[in-house]
Chains A and B, each alone.
Chain A
Amino acid sequence: MGQNCAAGPVAINSSITRDDNIRENQMKQLLMATAAMVIGATSAFAETKIGMITTLSGGGAGLGIDVRDGFMLAIGQSGRDDIDVVIEDDQQKPDIAVQLADKMVQSERVDILTGIIWSNLAMAVIPGVTAQGKFYLSPNAGPSALAGQGCHPNYFNVAWQNDNLHEAAGAYATSAGYSNSFILAPNYPAGQDALTGFKRTFEGGLAGEIYTQLGQTDYAAEIAQIRASGADSVFFFLPGGMGISFLKQYADSGVDLPVVGPAFSFDQGILQAVGDAALGVVNTSQWNKDIDNPTNAAFVESFQAEYGRLPSLYASQGFDTANLILSALDKAEVSDADAFREALRAADFDSTRGDFKFGPNQHPIQTIYAREVIKEGDVFTNKIIGVALENHGDVYAVDCKM
């Protein structure tokens, strides 16, 4: 107590002088900022500002970093210096993503937003952004709510509608002759969409269907159920670390039923962490590094040269998103929203996936491949083994009225 009383007056005195200093500093900063704005205003006149909100910290950062790196690679290769990309980390939290979007729209005055990885964040941000007249191009998340009745003329999805890769997995499992599949996914909207998507195209029966907890890391109980179920195959959607855990434990359990899944548990970023446990697993993806076209070959090579690692499907989606924006900017200014929208809709760019076109709800119509996990030297990667679904759109497009 005594110490505090003695320190009191001193603290007040010093804070007065400090306040003066701060005020002086603030004045200087204000003057400098004003000067900078005057100078900046002339050069920034014709600039296009793109806001990227993506996940750069926490457990899901690998995905956001890949999208960002793919996107920035394309911007860098375009050689254009009139494009300003503002990148912010959403920490995989919807509330932070919303704050960042508000900041970007209101104070940064961006023209186009992009970058969000997760569907729950996308749902929180995209409707608000498009309602304010901004463009949003999704490099990853494709929730069904935004593909059907909730579609919007300013919202484009460059990756896929969420159900797509699961529908492809169901189609592949059918064509592979599986007739009794055990299916599992986390108990959250994208997980429910996944099982729905799989069941939509899978013609066999189900030996079991379970929802796991989101973020679950131990799958011993589920693997025991798979063993006891008499299934002839397993389909799972467990993105990120959940998939790594499942595959390692599955490989160690002695259950040797064939596994099918979407690319999300087999992307370049996490395959090395799964190791041998993933070898031979078939997964479905709209992109792979061996899709044979010059754009893709150049992309894989330049990505590796720039960042020292192989690109993932997320990186390809970021790269395609940036190239789509660049192709539209060549035709129209963002300020002319109608012309710019038409230019985006035309999708007149060289995609890493080969031909690229949008459906009526501005989601891709594309071919989805079946890939197999292989080992190239020391590196685990994927190889295309066939087409799962050709020129596939999504079932929600009919509900979209634009």
Chain B
Amino acid sequence: MSTLLIIEQLLNGVQFGVMLFLMAAGLTLIFGVMGLINLAHGSLYMIGAFAAAAVAGATGSFGLALAAALAVAAIAGALIEMTVIRRLYGKAHLDQVLATFALILIFSEGTRWLFGSFPLFLDIPDALSGPVTLPGGIQYPLYRLFLIAVGLLVGLGLWALIERTRVGIQIRAGENDREMIAALGVDIRRLYTLIFAIGAALAGLAGALVGAIQSVQVGMGEPVLILAFVVIVIGGIGSIKGAFIGALLVGLTDTLGGIFLPELFKLFMEPGAATQTGSALASMAIYILMSLVLVWRPTGLFGARA
């Protein structure tokens, strides 16, 4: 196993991590500030991808497709917050899970009704397609570098929003004591809608970006949602920084585990059985990571409360 391969895999892990971060950021904000478990976050990811595929199909422009993904997901997010989610804040988590699970079904079948059952086509724009040669002779897809860059920029933007703006102060205050900031005259309903729309837009952006290299199909959001939950549990609920570190950890563990565990087992098993056992263990790796983190820090890496 050469150094080049290892560096390429590290890049893959980081790229997977930053895309998970886009999903997890919204989820952790919504959970941290509003105390809401939103299972329908994966549907917003799917909505973003479908909006992008539809717009890219109609106009041929990837930039417009990304804009559409952001806008449609944000609008969808704001709409479901105002019509459904708003009624759930005071309810038990089980009610929230049931209601947002219903939203998954509604969005999945609604999307099928609009777009049909077959996967849609969304491709990488020509300007970003193909591999580039990095220093050291590594051939790496340009689009994946673009994904890393976008993810880092969004992370930076979120940090600035939360640490440096008035809305950010309100969000942080809402996380700590929502009655108090309502008493101080902040329109908490508008703040919640805003946070939900931001989270939804980020999920939609992730869906559109990833949709270009994956399959745009109904149900594409749910597997990512599970990983995003793992990320926020590791990072600590409500913490953007935690979501970022957690996402990178999960991305790297998942990618590197898939490569190195089978290799490790090959040292003392015959190759066929080693790949099978290794890949079975690799698919558990992130959950093992999560349990280890929870043993060490029960509130997650950067979590304030359990």
Contact = CB atoms under 8 A, between A and B. Distances in A.
A225 B282 CA distance: 16
B109 A272 contact: no
A249 B15 CA distance: 13
Nearest to B120: A273
Interface string B192-234: 0000000000000000001011111111100110000000000
B130 A57 contact: no
Interface string A219-241: 01110110110000000000011
B5 interface: yes
A252 to B, nearest CB: 5
Interface stretch (A170-178, A207-215, A321-329): A207-215
A273 B213 contact: no
Contacts of B2: 228
Among B12, B109, B119, the most chain A Cβ lie within 10 Å of the Cβ of B119
Contacts of B223: 215, 217
A86 B2 CA distance: 57
Interface in A247-263: 248-249, 252-254
A253 B141 contact: yes
Given A65-B117, A253-B131, A248 B12 contact: no
Contacts of B119: 62, 241, 244, 269-270, 273
A228 B7 CA distance: 12
B136 interface: no
B272 interface: yes
B60 interface: no
Chain A: number of interface residues, binned into ranges: 35 or more
B300 interface: no
Given A210-B262, A249-B213, A62 B117 contact: yes
B118 A269 contact: yes
A391 interface: no
A220 B12 contact: yes
B112 A61 contact: yes
Contacts of A228: 1-2, 4-5
Interface of A is mostly: helix
B275 interface: yes
B21 interface: no
Contacts of A65: 117
A8 interface: no
B129 interface: yes
Interface in B238-262: 255, 258-259, 262
A206 to B, nearest CB: 9
Given A220-B12, A221-B255, A254 B131 contact: yes
Nearest to A277: B123
Contact of B215 (A213, A220, A224, A245): A245
Contact of B255 (A57, A59, A220, A254): A220
Nearest to B124: A252
A269 B117 CA distance: 9
A266 B280 CA distance: 27
Contacts of A218: 12, 16, 213-214
A245 B213 CA distance: 6
Contacts of B291: none
B276 interface: yes
A275 interface: yes
Interface string A182-219: 00000100001000000000000000011111010110
A58 interface: yes
B271 interface: yes
Nearest to A196: B272
Chain B: number of interface residues, binned into ranges: 35 or more
B214 A241 contact: yes
B121 A275 contact: yes
Nearest to A57: B109
Contact of A227 (B121, B139, B219): B139
A297 B270 CA distance: 50
Contact of A252 (B109, B141, B271): B141
Nearest to A60: B219
A211 B124 contact: no
A248 B112 contact: no
Contact of B130 (A56, A58, A252): A252
Contacts of B271: 209
B41 interface: no
B9 interface: yes
Nearest to B216: A273
B121 A241 contact: no
A273 B141 contact: no
A88 B157 CA distance: 48
B95 to A, nearest CB: 17
B279 interface: yes
A262 to B, nearest CB: 17
A211 B276 contact: yes
Interface of A: 56-59, 61-62, 65, 187, 192, 209-213, 215, 217-218, 220-222, 224-225, 227-228, 240-242, 244-245, 248-249, 252-254, 269-270, 272-276
Given A221-B258, A228-B4, A253-B131, 6 more contacts: A221-B255, A228-B2, A248-B123, A253-B141, A269-B118, A269-B119
List 10 A-B pairs, minimum CB-CB distance, nearest first.
Answer: A254-B131, A244-B215, A241-B215, A273-B119, A59-B219, A220-B12, A245-B214, A61-B117, A211-B279, A217-B214
29 contacts: A57-B112, A58-B218, A59-B218, A187-B276, A187-B279, A187-B283, A210-B279, A218-B12, A218-B214, A220-B16, A221-B12, A222-B258, A224-B5, A227-B139, A228-B1, A228-B4, A240-B215, A241-B220, A244-B217, A248-B214, A252-B124, A252-B143, A253-B141, A254-B130, A270-B119, A272-B121, A273-B119, A273-B120, A275-B121
